[in-house]
Structure 1
Amino acid sequence: MGVKSAMYLLLLASIWGASFLFMRIGAPPLGPVWLIESRVGFAALFLCVVALLMKKKLHLRQHWKHYTFLGVMSSALPFLCYGYAAQYLTASMMSIINALTPVFGAAIGALYFRKPLTRNAVIGLSLGVLGVAVIVGFDADLLKNQAWFAVLVVLGAPLCYGVAATYTQVVSPVAPFNNAQGSMLMATLALLPIALFFTPNTTPNAVESISVIALGVVCTGVAYLIFFKLLEDIGSSSLLTVTFLIPIFGVFWGVVFLDEKVGIHTFIGGVLVVLGTMKTTGFSFTKALKTEQ
């Protein structure tokens, strides 16, 4: 992996890690539904502008069902899970749980294709579950405030990502940029009828408004562009490195900007989650750094 690709990888991880910070800031005034409707809406608008500038065609009539399923399962539902959880959980905790995505993907793929989980996948899944149990079980505030339910909800996000990942393995391939633009557009449309039944809790102030815009444009729209560039430059195996870097940045942004406290149980649980994901995927940092597509 070249220096330029490594810098892009760190940038992507820092941006996606910051998404949990922005959700923590935006969730209290807007509530989860309008927070996520704003996120996918700003992302869809940004990607539509990019598509016009790059003269890319979406082929919406041909692929609208595909975009709808992808938009709901890879954006609308998992983002809603995080939006709800952001009212109760720290950015640090959400970013760590997000690292379980490949573990859920492996488990769902095994169920769908009716293949037994490998020994490494079982070990990885067990480590991941143990890691979440350590984070939650030793956090007195979660039990005191009954925020443990938010942990169950936030686990729905990597579950949805796992379903979406399995789905993409069995459908006819669509251009990556089109997937990003189409899924954001359909996620926006899917959430709009639901959003009409909710109202924001309060009018967001300047910082909260900027956070929501950044969440949609930077953490979603710009992040997708960086993601697809890296996918083309270094391949999916090396790109998996971002999964393990996101929690580092998620914890960092939470501590610096929200004064979140990270206990030893969070550190130990986070390490177990990351190790579980690495074991499930067979990931090696050495191989990833050496890989060039």
Structure 2
Amino acid sequence: MASLLSLFVLAALWGSSFLFMRIAANPMGPALMIEARILLAAITLLLIALLLRKRLAFLSHPKHYLILGLFSTALPFVLIAYAAQTLNASTLSILNSTAPIWGALISVVWGGNRLTKKFMVGLGLGVLGVFVLVGKEASLVGWDAAIPMLCSVSAAFCYGIATNYTKIAPKVSSFNNAHGSMWGASILLLPLAILMPAREPMTLEVGFAVIMLGIFCTGLAYILYFRLIDEIGAASALSVTFLVPVFGILWGHLFLGEPVGWNTFIGTLLVLAGTSWVTGFSVTQLLKNARAS
């Protein structure tokens, strides 16, 4: 039961990240906002590491942490932040949930995994769900939404690359992967953040959003995620993907007044159904595994 509660808390935190990015992306600019988010997360993890007496040997695997930081954090975060300047939190969270589909597709190309009929059906459902969102969003925002949507899907693709990279990466503890990748990502993003300063003076609302993003939605959320991996296994922990869009839609509607239309429901169902078929994981299995822990 404790694992099930942790899973919902994690989904709520990651779902709220799209809300906070919507608040801070335009005034701060994508690069500076994400650099602040990642640095806050890295410092949070450093303090936890000191408290738990966990030593991060960054110089032992600098290339690994930079690669992981690039594809799991720096690049996808900036792409989502750019998209957040235009798209609503609901759309961002749903498009982000396609990450397991991309991860499975990359594993077919990269790892030589076999294409099955079930995989192809799942992929088709996921793509159809994205098109439902794209078509309706374009009619509301205009075709200016096309590039932000492409960025959001590209961010999910980056997560797929990161997932497959970890299969061949050096064997490092989950905590050190989270901690080291944050420092790697902050190093990579620093030049871009310097070149793209804030567009508007900092306000309390924007400052609060960045603090929530860095400390809670990233630093503490990663700790919770890797604790879940230890408790219920990697596959079950990754199934938080099914729950994040629910909270992304809820927070966007409650706090930003974003409309929840038919396309949101249908697009979400199609994407999550496709994810379930591609990964072979179901919500029923998720709840069963979490309850048993």
- Counterpart position of 2:195: 197
TM-score by length of 1: 0.96
What do residues 123-147 of structure 1 show as CA deviations (whole Å, max 9, x unaligned)? 11111111010111123123x2511
1:175 corresponds to which letter in structure 2? S
- Counterpart position of 2:140: 141
- Counterpart position of 1:274: 272
- Counterpart position of 1:96: 94
Unaligned runs of 5+ in 2: none
- Counterpart position of 2:258: 260
8 Å Cα contact 2:32-2:194 kept in structure 1: no
Alignment of 1:123-142 (within 5 A): 123-139=121-137, 140-142=139-141
Alignment of 1:141-220 (within 5 A): 141-142=140-141, 144=142, 146-220=144-218
What do residues 194-244 of structure 1 show as CA deviations (whole Å, max 9, x unaligned)? 111111110121011011111011000000111111111111232233111
8 Å Cα contact 2:71-2:158 kept in structure 1: yes
2:256 corresponds to which letter in structure 1? L
Count of residues in Structure 1 that have an aligned counterpart in Structure 2: 290
Matched, 1:20 2:18: yes
Q: Distance in 1 between matches of 2:33 and 2:187?
A: 14
What do residues 87-113 of structure 1 show as CA deviations (whole Å, max 9, x unaligned)? 000000000011101000000111012
- Counterpart position of 1:85: 83
8 Å Cα contact 1:105-1:161 kept in structure 2: yes
Q: Distance in 2 between matches of 1:262 and 1:287?
A: 28
- Counterpart position of 2:230: 232
- From 15, 19, 30, the equivalent of 1:32 is 30
8 Å Cα contact 1:125-1:277 kept in structure 2: yes
Any idea what SS the aligned residue of 1:88 has? coil
1:231 corresponds to which letter in structure 2? I
Q: Distance in 1 between matches of 2:11 and 2:136?
A: 27
Residue 37 (structure 1) shift: 0.5
- From 65, 72, 83, the equivalent of 2:70 is 72
Q: Distance in 1 between matches of 2:235 and 2:65?
A: 25
Q: Distance in 2 between matches of 1:59 and 1:240?
A: 26
Identity of aligned residues (%): 46
Q: Distance in 2 between matches of 1:261 and 1:48?
A: 39
What do residues 4-55 of structure 1 show as CA deviations (whole Å, max 9, x unaligned)? 1111110000000000000000101101000111110110111111111111
Give the aligned CA root-mean-square deviation in angstroms.
1.2
Q: Distance in 1 between matches of 2:241 and 2:42?
A: 24
- Counterpart position of 1:246: 244
Unaligned runs of 5+ in 1: none
What do residues 48-87 of structure 1 show as CA deviations (whole Å, max 9, x unaligned)? 1111111111111111110000001100000011000000
Q: Distance in 1 between matches of 2:121 and 2:79?
A: 26
Any idea what SS the aligned residue of 1:262 has? coil
- Counterpart position of 1:62: 60
8 Å Cα contact 1:103-1:121 kept in structure 2: no
Residue 285 (structure 1) shift: 2.6
1:62 corresponds to which letter in structure 2? S
Residue 288 (structure 1) shift: 2.7
The runs of at least 4 aligned residues of structure 1 exceeding 3 Å deviation read none
Q: Distance in 1 between matches of 2:251 and 2:288?
A: 29
Q: Distance in 2 between matches of 1:205 and 1:117?
A: 50
